[in-house]
Structure 1
């Protein structure tokens, strides 16, 4: 059975599984078959789109509709595009301006969530964020006076809405950003646009960890471990999502470094301090904006406050991970979990002399080269390990969109077909992909083969292969001796993979 595995990252930590399962409602059946599309540099992160349709031509129309809606909404809501409607409006002060329904709606939602969260979610938190970024750039801690001034500015009233006349008045110069849930809002609109395409029965849109499922489809979604954020790491929960939104926020992927310490990009606008007591918050909600708003808010609030807020919001379930690793779930979280959600026990290592030291892992970092287009389809990528006999012992990652183009990954395809012949197990049944800041991905190898057994210590070759449909091709290879001595290697970049590094290290 074919299975496509995607890992959701960006603002959040979700592993996103696309494919068949034993549940009848998950498979395509008469609803059509899934077509997947992957892009880099969409809203500053990566896009994964899945469409269920009767033909590729219909799915392509849905893809075009979703991309057009993303572009349209970004031109309205982006805080980073100086030409966006939000940016133009925010540069003016003191006069009412007629705004689009979308921008008015998002500003109204921020007003609602500011009140509902007790000030924990605020578009003007950008004022605090800028203080921390400037201090980090100057290699110092923010001065108390700087933070106090920012917090005072946050407490002010920043706009006034007149929904009857469709206008908004910007009231002060406090910096604003809508990134707390504007991306989630756009994801929801993109999913709706794809679903309204004639002949489409379901759509799943994921941008940077914000995920929406719409239509006749139950999506398996896995929540990734915030303490082990490689794309192929084991998730901490597996869910089944139907006609709902999922968002995850966390404190460990973005932020600033000052004097060797990491400070989260998520700040409490009431205190001016980065938050670290909750390192991951995953929220399932009926709509994308609620999921995104709550995921950020729950990283700021204390768990008991988050519980009360969720109980006042219909259709919301959540999972929090505290800084000490404690997991705190809502009362209905278990109902979302997929059957057999408990992790399977790791098979015991096969008897072997001088096996891989289980205290070590190989970290693999790679960066996909940026091309001229702001938005570009991701190349097909395979990462795998071969032993000294050139036998492929483990496929670490395989990212693709159409199975018919897999032979473009010439070395991987040939090697794994050999492995499939000798073991009778086609490796294309297990496929992984990831969502990160655009083009940057982390993987790991735990020293186990495709059967879950630790390999022997010794020399192995790491392969990274990339290809585009009818386009460029690149392969990188590096031999390492996995003998219990830490080591690192930088691999020279190329056309498709601009940089890659290997680090054999203790976990």
Structure 2
């Protein structure tokens, strides 16, 4: 499975109330090649940190066994062998056996040799073409062969094919399950792990998870659905907001997710979110459901105990299993606050009368650079709009770890205090959400203020502010004329904020 960056966001910012209840949140980067969020319920901060250390130790240990990116991992060494029954660790044996089970259960929709198809498409992309029919046939034939033979009694694995293999997110699901158990064994009463968008919840923990709408382009667009889970895993696979060998696949108008049965991109499903009792099942089915037809997925889900799903198809259908609504947060279906959403009672307005032209929107793209620093902490970021008098009319994003750090965003905090005195409302509880890992993010402004009312047409300043523990501080301003004439601007940024682009355009 390839999990998109923003497909599932755990609602896990550590508020003051959470800390009083004994819940702490930690963030880490470069864990099995992705970002990791750890939320721990414990009796004290030292106990929570002990559980955090246990989680990281388990990820490191299993990475030395299962990582396909480490040349010195057990898997990488084993992959170089051929037709030799090699004694392997219990962890590697379990993952290979799990792949065999799910490959059979999905009729080949989940297969570790998908890497062979990806390699073919990368090569074709480098040559400015798409793979030929003959190349696709040869690749499929190779992929459909058995990849290994397992001997349970001797716990050996023999590699019997030369096809490239990748354990990918299947292994990540396995490791996350073990890491969550390690936290509980270390004394935590509850734990939530969000590894690249896949959420594992164990023990005395209830977690609210927003499922991103795959048709939404911006980080602060409405979420598709919101679920609350206990002792469950939520995994998502999707064909949006990310691509692999995009140049070649774009010719076919398809996604980056490849169907192992055809070696072609599968574009009929935009996203698949699965809730299951264990991480292996959730991860395997989220991947498979993005390849299989919805009818195939429904039949497989019915045969698999404890599984529910939400599938969004390319033609706009939202397909929920019969048990999905048991997890939905009441009153949130059909429009959710992914970040900040204007008040629902706002009256629609027409162009003219000196107001913002509703046919236009501002799309803002910003980059949080990856910084090579052992003490790296994600930056706190605020993005807002000021009018000609420098009064803050709309906050588009507020990414913090907890409210205690809001004053570190010096200008946003000062401006918001002024706005709060004027309006008598505290929007930080509505706007703030968890910090983001390094990467590219898109935000949207629809020309409405914090109350959901249309602003006047005219000049406004876009402000982006970033502050990081053990790091630097940066703020950028850009004034644009929002009067119904398209306009673009770019800011080069710096260490804390990379390139920023603004595009005022017709919707």
TM-score by length of 1: 0.91
TM-aligned CA deviation for residue 315 of structure 1: 0.6
Measured after TM superposition, the shift of residue 34 of structure 1 is: 2.7
* SS at structure 2 position matched to 1:454: coil
Is the contact between residue 358 and residue 446 of structure 1 (CA under 8 Å) also seen in structure 2? yes
Q: What is the Cα deviation at residue 435 of structure 1? A: 5.7
2:399–2:436 Cα contact (<8 Å) kept:
no
Q: Which residue of 2 aligns with 1:306?
A: 297
Structure 2 counterpart of 1:366? 366
1:373/1:138 CA distance change after superposition, 3 Å: farther
SS state of the match for residue 245, structure 2?
Answer: strand
SS in 2 for 1:289: helix
Which one of the candidate residues 139, 147, 150 is aligned to 2:139?
150
Structure 1 residue 13: Cα displacement: 1.3
CA contact (8 A) 1:38 1:48 kept: yes
Question: Which of residues 247, 251, 256 in structure 1 aligns to 2:235?
Answer: 247
Asked whether the 8 Å contact 2:377–2:470 carries over to 1, the reply is no
Partners of 2:50 and 2:506 in 1: how far apart?
A: 48
1:285 counterpart (273, 276, 282): 276
1:24 alignment counterpart: none
Task: Output the CA distance in 1 between the equivalents of 2:444 and 2:148.
Answer: 47
User: In structure 1, what is the equivalent of residue 386 of structure 2?
Assistant: 386
Of 4, 8, 15, 1:10 maps to 4
Aligned with 1:61 (options 44, 50, 55)? 50
SS of equivalent residue, structure 1 residue 376:
coil
Rounded Cα–Cα distance in structure 2 between residues aligned with 1:12 and 1:175: 28
Question: CA distance change for structure 1 residues 281 and 271 in 2, over 3 Å: closer, same or farther?
Answer: same
Contact 1:180–1:296 (8 Å) recurs in 2 = no
Instruction: State yes or no: 1:171 paired with 2:164.
Output: no
Q: Hey, what's the Cα distance between the residues in 1 that align with 2:175 and 2:203?
A: 17
The answer on 1:439 being equivalent to 2:439 is yes
The residue that corresponds to 1:203 in the other structure is: 191
Preserved contact between residue 282 and residue 320 of structure 1 (Cα < 8 Å): yes
RMSD: 2.4
Runs of at least 5 residues in structure 2 that lack an aligned partner in the other structure: 336-342
- Residue ranges of structure 1 left out of the alignment (5+ in a row): 1-7, 22-26
Tell me: higher relative CO, structure 1 or 2? Use CA pairs within 8 A at least 6 residues apart.
1
Query: Is the alpha carbon distance of 1:194 and 1:464 closer, same or farther for their aligned partners in structure 2, counting shifts above 3 Å?
Result: farther
| 1:187–1:288 contact (8 Å) kept in structure 2 | yes
Q: 1:347 aligns with which of 339, 345, 348?
A: 345
Structure 1 332/287 Cα, relative in aligned 2: closer, same or farther at 3 Å? same
2:363, 2:502 within 8 Å by CA — same for their partners in 1? yes
Please state how far the C-alpha of 1:47 moved relative to its aligned partner.
2.0
Q: Deviations over 1:231-266 (max 9, x none)?
A: 221111111111100011111222333365453221
1:222 to 188, 210, 221: 210
CA deviations over 1:353-387 (Å, ceiling 9, x no partner): 42222232222222212222478331111111111
Go from structure 1 to structure 2 and tell me whether the alpha carbon gap of 1:63 and 1:428 turns closer, same or farther (over 3 Å shift): farther
Deviation at 1:498, TM superposition (A): 2.2
Residue in 2 aligned with 1:337? 328
Asked if the contact 1:183/1:210 (under 8 Å) is kept, the reply is no
Q: CA deviation at 1:291?
A: 0.6
The offset of 1:487, in angstroms, is: 2.2
- What is the distance in 1 between the residues matched to 2:165 and 2:50? 35
Q: For residue 109 of structure 1, what is the aligned residue in structure 2?
A: 98
Distance 1:194 1:360 in 2: 49
State whether residues 28 and 35 of structure 2, in contact with CA within 8 Å, keep that contact through their aligned partners in structure 1.
yes
* 1:482 to 1:44, Cα distance in 2 relative to 1, 3 A: farther
Taking a change above 3 Å as real, the CA distance of residues 70 and 486 of structure 1, as seen in their structure-2 partners, is farther
Distance 1:243 1:228 in 2: 29
Between the aligned partners of 2:7 and 2:71, the Cα distance in structure 1 is 29
Which residue, 188, 212, 221 being the options, matches 1:233? 221
1:167 deviates by 1.6
- Aligned equivalents of 2:353, 2:59: Cα separation in 1: 55
Q: Is the 8 A contact 1:48 1:205 kept in 2?
A: yes
TM-score normalised over the length of structure 2: 0.91
**1: CA distance, partners of 2:61 / 2:14:** 33
Answering whether residue 36 of structure 2 is matched by residue 47 of structure 1, we say yes
